[in-house]
Amino acid sequence: MPHPIYIINGPNLNLLGQRQPEIYGAQTLSDIEVMCVAHAKTLGYDIVFSQSNIEGEIVNALQDGGANGAAIIINPAAYTHTSVALYDAIKSIDVPVIEVHLSQPHAREDFRHTSYVSAAAKATISGMGARSYILGLDAAAHVLSNS
Ligand code: DQA
Compute the distance from residue 47 Cα to the ligand 1 centre, in Å: 21
State which ligand 1 atom lies nearest to the alpha carbon of 78.
6
Reduce the DSSP state of residue 99 to 3 states and report it: strand
pLDDT for 147 equals 77
Q: Where are the domains of the chain?
A: 5-145
Instruction: Look up the pTM and report it.
Output: 0.97
Q: pLDDT of 42-85, one tens digit each?
A: 999 999 999 999 999 999 999 999 999 999 999 999 999 999 99
E strands, 1-146, are: 5-9, 47-51, 71-75, 97-101, 123-126
Return phi, psi of residue 76, to 5°: -80, -5
What CATH class has 5-145? alpha beta
User: Whose alpha carbon is nearest atom 6 of ligand 1?
Assistant: 78
Confidence of residue 1 (pLDDT cuts 50, 70, 90): confident
Q: pLDDT of 98-118, one tens digit each?
A: 999 999 999 999 999 999 999
Q: Is 101 a catalytic residue?
A: yes
Pocket of ligand 1 (CB under 6 A): 12, 75, 77-78, 80, 101-103, 105, 112
